């Protein structure tokens, strides 16, 4: 083996734990979730013969005898009760009534010999709508979860239409998620920028103390910090007690189980991600620029607006990106501090994933969130792209 | 001299117990080029920072055109500052950098365009007006900084070691360029440097700083030829210091008995009594080597070392304990090591300094 090949092998081996880790714990689950969002094999798995026969049916007239025979044959061979249950759930979500229809049909098929015709078991089998629900569910991939994630669906003719407003609120929750994230980003910028400037102008132990004040919360668990806010923000909590004690308010301020509380707690948790990038940019700005601006006749405020602010925008942009991206995925804080109207998209995903075991829907919402995030990031990357000034 | 443009009146600056500038007086006339020269930590930069308004004096008053400016903030002092690291705004183009002080002064758009063009022509950077500072070489950046500090025609231009980061060749070129600008535009310039040859090249007057005080102030010629203190003699150029005692005084001439034997006639700057311990400073290039004694000021010596330096020969001499260095022009005779010679010098080139 040549020396170069040995070197390459060594480098690969050093990277192997990382590659393995990210493949197993990141890429694979991500791919699985994403494929869950578009895969739809629950029906196809149980009804392979029906799928073949469905090609010769036009979808409007009464179902052909071959189609009916194929369905009966498939149902007879369906022994896996869990897979059958998945199929029934899938069909029922496309056309309500399938649950009773299928249980009736299955018990009739398994009990009787010779078989009665499907119409005899249940007259609903004459209705092409039920057959359309089956043939519509036979494709191995589907866009219905993705459409549902943004409150869209397909009507009987297959066109994409808006869902009825009472059926789903994903779009509202998605917009609310972005709105809360934007408010938190704004709050972090307004608080974080002056604070970062303060750290950058201090020296020695003062700087260390100010930095520690930012970093210490960062080293504390998110859950602990949220729980602390849960206590502090209560009606009889620290803030209300102090304000009432000072006589500034008469009744307690509503700080918990509403938007205010969520934004306060999330701003506190995410503030370090705003302060640190701005601080690191600020300390890289030469110390003489502000004196230079002053000597050239700039009032301190104008010097700040024309020199320091534009130069630190890069840090503000990275900080805003970090805060916004993290805020979009927040789950624990809105769940504990927020009210029902403050739940963000993560709690909807959690509901589908753990509450109703609808992995496809959870995957689809996750995918939409991922796409929105990547789109935002690419806008940021475009804005922060190659700047000749930093050549 | 009419009213000075700048007057430092009993200025002191302390950081806690550390006194950086110590009760200092200095007047600078309009149109004058004054260098503040000294080793690092001698207070020269602090003085400049106080003049620019970046620092406040602990004591004393700074007057500009007769007006105290202690309480005037930097942005209203009307002084152009050139920093060592140029301090160009990296997010503005060359032209925007130069336009900045004009914008701050509310100059009209047309006026800005015209004056920026003129300032960039002056430093020969018109072709670079749309570049970013990061795309320029160090010398070009320094010229932009210069244009930016001059474009608004400030009352005073302050320069804090502006050429320190440039290589030798470029530095010498810039020295002459700045000198020429000073003459043409009749600028008042206060220039901080630790490079004595830079100060000698450029200044009308040099103030030599040491430990927060001005050791000596004068024209380059005065400072170099007639140093008043041992510090100045050693800091500016190279010198030979011979220790001795004043034996007799005749007008501005003094007869010095050297500690290591021999005597010589030297020039007195101040009145000094007989018997005073003094140093005699002789610049190496003022020493001549001869085979036999021809004049009064001389001593016999032995050539210890002779080093070829291109434009001159550097000869180390041992004259019975009076060790001196001579710098011989290329036209003078070369002496082998070990040769017995006579070192001769004019009494006007021997300068008496109190020890």
Interface A-B: count of C-beta contacts within 8 A: 77
SS3 B309: coil
Strand intervals (E) in chain A: 152-154, 160-162
Copy the structure tokens of residue A278.
């701005």
Would you say residue A39 lies in a domain?
no
- Distance, CA of A236 to CA of A249 (rounded, Å): 13
- Distance, CA of A144 to CA of A160 (rounded, Å): 10
B:27-56 residues touching chain A, CB 8 A cutoff: 52-54
pLDDT at A250: 86
Q: Chain B residue with minimal CA distance to A301?
A: B75
Would you say residue A320 lies in a domain?
yes
- Calculate how close chain B gets to A298, using CA atoms only, in Å: 6
Would you say residue A92 lies in a domain?
yes
- Calculate how close chain B gets to A297, using CA atoms only, in Å: 4
The CATH number assigned to the domain holding A206 equals 1.10.3720.10
Q: What is the mean pLDDT of residues A204-226?
A: 90
Q: Chain B residue with minimal CA distance to A296?
A: B101
Confidence of residue A57 (pLDDT cuts 50, 70, 90): confident
- Give me the tens of pLDDT residue by residue for chain B, a chain 355 residues long: 568 899 999 999 999 899 999 999 999 999 999 999 999 989 999 999 999 999 999 999 999 999 999 999 999 999 999 998 899 999 999 999 999 999 999 999 999 999 999 999 988 899 999 999 999 998 899 999 999 999 999 999 999 999 888 888 888 988 998 999 999 989 999 999 999 999 999 999 999 999 999 999 999 999 998 898 999 999 998 899 989 999 888 888 888 888 887 888 888 877 888 888 999 999 999 998 888 888 778 888 889 998 888 888 899 998 877 888 999 888 888 888 888 999 888 888 889 988 7
pLDDT at B11: 94
Q: What is the DSSP string of A106-139?
A: HHHHHH-SSPPPHHHH-GGGG-HHHHHHHHHT-S
Residue A145, φ and ψ in degrees, nearest 5: -70, -45
Q: CB A295 to CB B79 under 8 A?
A: yes
Contacts of A300 in chain B (CB under 8 A): 75
Q: What is the mean pLDDT of residues A6-33?
A: 92
SS3 A43: helix
Contacts of B104 in chain A (CB under 8 A): 296-299, 302
Domain end among A140, A161, A193: A140
Would you say residue A322 lies in a domain?
yes
Confidence of residue A297 (pLDDT cuts 50, 70, 90): very high
- Distance, CA of A266 to CA of A222 (rounded, Å): 10
Pairing of strands B340-344, B298-308: antiparallel
Question: Does the pLDDT of residue A386 top 60, yes or no?
Answer: no
Q: Are residues A202 and A275 in the same domain?
A: yes
- For tokens 């300068």, the residue is B351
- Distance, CA of A83 to CA of A75 (rounded, Å): 12
Would you say residue A34 lies in a domain?
no
User: B162 CB near a chain A CB, below 8 Å?
Assistant: no
Question: Which residue of A290, A291, A292 to mutate against B (max B Cβ within 10 Å)?
Answer: A292
Which residues, other chains included, contact A165 with Cβ-Cβ below 8 Å and sequence gap of 6+?
none
The partner residues of B342 in beta bridges, in order of sequence, read B290, B300
Question: Cα–Cα distances in Å, from A263 out to A174, A188, B75, B80, B267?
Answer: 16, 10, 41, 48, 83
Confidence of residue A262 (pLDDT cuts 50, 70, 90): very high
pLDDT per residue as tens digits for the range B229-248? 999 999 998 899 989 999 88
- Distance, CA of A99 to CA of A77 (rounded, Å): 19
Q: Are residues A241 and A364 in the same domain?
A: yes
Strands of the B79-82 sheet, one edge to the other: B79-82, B156-160, B189-193, B33-37, B205-210, B213-218
Residue B215, φ and ψ in degrees, nearest 5: -75, -40
Q: Look at chain A and report how many structural domains it folds into.
A: 2
Copy the structure tokens of residue B283.
């610049």
Q: Chain B residue with minimal CA distance to A391?
A: B134
B:212-251 residues touching chain A, CB 8 A cutoff: none
Contacts of B149 in chain A (CB under 8 A): 295-296
Would you say residue A12 lies in a domain?
no
Q: Are residues A122 and A210 in the same domain?
A: no
Q: Are residues A236 and A285 in the same domain?
A: yes
Question: Does the pLDDT of residue A182 top 50, yes or no?
Answer: yes
- Distance, CA of A333 to CA of A237 (rounded, Å): 17
User: B128 CB near a chain A CB, below 8 Å?
Assistant: no
Q: Chain A residue with minimal CA distance to B154?
A: A296
Q: Are residues A120 and A265 in the same domain?
A: no
For residue B15, what is the DSSP state? E
Q: Are residues A191 and A131 in the same domain?
A: no
Q: Are residues A211 and A281 in the same domain?
A: yes
Which residues, other chains included, contact B20 with Cβ-Cβ below 8 Å and sequence gap of 6+?
B13, B14, B41, B43, B46, B212
Question: Does the pLDDT of residue A249 top 50, yes or no?
Answer: yes
- Among A298, A388, A390, beta carbon nearest to B75: A298
Q: CB A288 to CB B77 under 8 A?
A: no
pLDDT at A80: 83
Contacts of A290 in chain B (CB under 8 A): none
Owning domain of residue A114: 48-140
Q: CB A297 to CB B104 under 8 A?
A: yes
Q: CB B100 to CB A300 under 8 A?
A: no
Domain end among A140, A162, A185: A140
Would you say residue A262 lies in a domain?
yes
Name the percent of chain A lying above pLDDT 70: 97
Q: Are residues A237 and A93 in the same domain?
A: no
- Among B85, B100, B133, beta carbon nearest to A296: B100
Q: CB A388 to CB B134 under 8 A?
A: yes
- Among A295, A306, A388, beta carbon nearest to B132: A388
Half-sphere exposure of B116 (CA within 13 A, CB side): 22
Question: Does the pLDDT of residue A2 top 80, yes or no?
Answer: no
pLDDT at A391: 42
SS3 for A143-172, per residue? Answer: CHHHHHHCCEEECCCCCEEECCCCCCCHHH
- Among A286, A389, A390, beta carbon nearest to B87: A286
- Among A292, A307, A388, beta carbon nearest to B81: A292
Domain end among A96, A121, A140: A140
Question: Does the pLDDT of residue A216 top 90, yes or no?
Answer: no
ipTM over cut 0.85: no
- Distance, CA of B197 to CA of B127 (rounded, Å): 32
Average pLDDT score over chain A: 87
Q: What is the mean pLDDT of residues A320-347?
A: 90
Let me know: does B74 contact B52? Beta carbons within 8 Å: yes
- Distance, CA of B34 to CA of B104 (rounded, Å): 28
- For the whole prediction, is pTM greater than 0.90? no
Q: 3-state SS of chain B: helix, strand, coil percent to 5?
A: 30, 35, 35
User: B79 CB near a chain A CB, below 8 Å?
Assistant: yes
Q: Are residues A58 and A136 in the same domain?
A: yes
Would you say residue A293 lies in a domain?
yes
Q: Are residues A234 and A134 in the same domain?
A: no
- Distance, CA of B160 to CA of B80 (rounded, Å): 11
Let me know: does B5 contact B29? Beta carbons within 8 Å: yes
- Calculate how close chain A gets to B79, using CA atoms only, in Å: 6
Confidence of residue A1 (pLDDT cuts 50, 70, 90): low
Q: What is the helix (H) or strand (E) element at residue B245, kind and residue range?
A: strand B240-250
Q: Are residues A307 and A384 in the same domain?
A: yes
Q: Are residues A318 and A247 in the same domain?
A: yes
């Amino acid at each position: 083996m040549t020396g170069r090949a040995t070197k390459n092998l060594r480098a690969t081996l050093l990277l192997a734990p990382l590659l393995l880790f990210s493949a197993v714990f990141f890429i694979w689950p991500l791919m699985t979730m994403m494929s869950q969002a578009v895969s739809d094999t629950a029906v196809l798995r149980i009804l392979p013969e029906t799928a073949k026969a469905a090609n010769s049916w036009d979808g409007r007239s009464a179902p052909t005898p071959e189609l009916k025979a194929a369905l009966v044959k498939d149902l007879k061979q369906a022994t896996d009760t869990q897979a059958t249950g998945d199929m029934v759930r899938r069909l029922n979500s496309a056309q309500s009534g399938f649950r009773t229809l299928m249980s009736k049909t299955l018990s009739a098929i398994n009990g009787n010999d010779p078989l009665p015709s499907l119409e005899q078991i249940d007259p609903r089998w004459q209705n092409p709508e039920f057959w359309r629900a089956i043939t519509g569910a036979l494709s191995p991939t589907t866009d219905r979860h993705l459409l549902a994630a943004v409150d869209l669906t397909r009507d009987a003719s297959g066109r994409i239409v808006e869902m009825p407003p009472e059926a789903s609120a994903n779009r509202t929750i998605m917009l609310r998620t972005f709105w809360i994230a934007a408010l938190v980003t704004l709050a972090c910028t307004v608080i974080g920028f002056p604070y970062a400037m303060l750290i950058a102008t201090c020296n020695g132990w003062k700087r260390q103390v100010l930095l520690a004040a930012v970093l210490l919360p960062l080293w504390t668990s998110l859950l602990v910090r949220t729980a602390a806010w849960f206590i502090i923000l209560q009606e009889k909590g620290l803030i209300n007690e102090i304000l009432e004690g000072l006589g500034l308010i008469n009744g307690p301020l509503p700080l918990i189980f509403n938007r205010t509380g969520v934004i306060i707690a999330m701003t506190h948790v995410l503030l370090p991600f705003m302060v640190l990038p701005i601080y690191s940019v600020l300390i890289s700005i030469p110390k003489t620029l502000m004196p230079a601006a002053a000597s050239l006749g700039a009032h301190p405020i104008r010097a700040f607006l024309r020199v320091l602010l534009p130069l630190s925008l890069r840090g503000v942009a990275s900080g805003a990106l970090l805060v916004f991206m993290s805020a979009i995925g927040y789950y624990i804080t809105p769940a504990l501090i927020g009210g029902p109207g403050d739940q963000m998209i993560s709690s909807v995903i959690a509901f589908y994933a753990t509450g109703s075991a609808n992995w496809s829907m959870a995957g689809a919402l996750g995918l939409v969130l991922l796409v929105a995030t990547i789109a935002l990031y690419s806008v940021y990357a475009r804005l922060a792209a190659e700047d000749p000034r930093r050549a | 001299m009419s009213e000075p443009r700048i007057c430092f009146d009993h200025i002191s600056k302390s950081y806690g117990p550390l006194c950086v500038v110590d009760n200092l007086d200095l007047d600078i006339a309009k149109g004058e080029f004054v260098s503040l020269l000294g080793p690092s930590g001698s207070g020269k930069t602090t003085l400049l920072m106080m003049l620019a308004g970046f620092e406040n004096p602990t004591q004393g008053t700074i007057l500009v055109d007769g007006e105290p400016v202690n309480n005037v903030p930097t942005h209203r002092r009307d002084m152009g500052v050139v920093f060592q690291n140029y301090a160009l705004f990296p997010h503005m183009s060359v032209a925007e950098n130069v336009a900045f002080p004009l914008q701050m002064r509310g100059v009209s758009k047309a006026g800005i365009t015209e004056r920026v063009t003129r300032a960039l022509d002056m430093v020969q950077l018109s072709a670079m007006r749309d570049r970013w500072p990061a795309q320029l070489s160090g010398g070009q950046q320094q010229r932009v900084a210069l244009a930016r500090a001059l474009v608004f025609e400030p009352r005073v231009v302050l320069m804090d070691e502006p050429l320190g980061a440039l290589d030798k060749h470029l530095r010498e070129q810039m020295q002459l360029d700045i000198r020429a600008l000073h003459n043409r535009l009749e600028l008042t310039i206060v220039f901080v440097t630790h490079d004595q040859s830079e100060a000698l090249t450029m200044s009308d007057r040099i103030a030599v700083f040491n430990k927060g005080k001005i050791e000596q102030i004068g024209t380059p010629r005065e400072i170099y030829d007639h140093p008043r203190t041992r510090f100045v003699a050693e800091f500016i150029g190279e010198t030979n210091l011979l220790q001795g005692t004043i034996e007799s005084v005749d007008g501005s001439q003094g007869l010095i008995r050297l500690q290591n034997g021999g005597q010589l006639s030297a020039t007195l700057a101040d009145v000094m009594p007989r018997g005073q311990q003094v140093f005699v400073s002789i610049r190496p290039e003022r020493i001549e080597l001869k085979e036999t004694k021809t004049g009064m000021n001389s001593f016999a010596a032995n050539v210890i070392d002779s080093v070829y330096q291109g434009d001159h020969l550097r000869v180390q001499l041992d004259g019975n304990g009076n060790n001196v260095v001579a710098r011989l022009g290329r036209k003078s005779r070369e002496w082998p090591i070990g040769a017995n010679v006579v070192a001769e010098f004019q009494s006007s080139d021997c300068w008496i300094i109190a020890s």
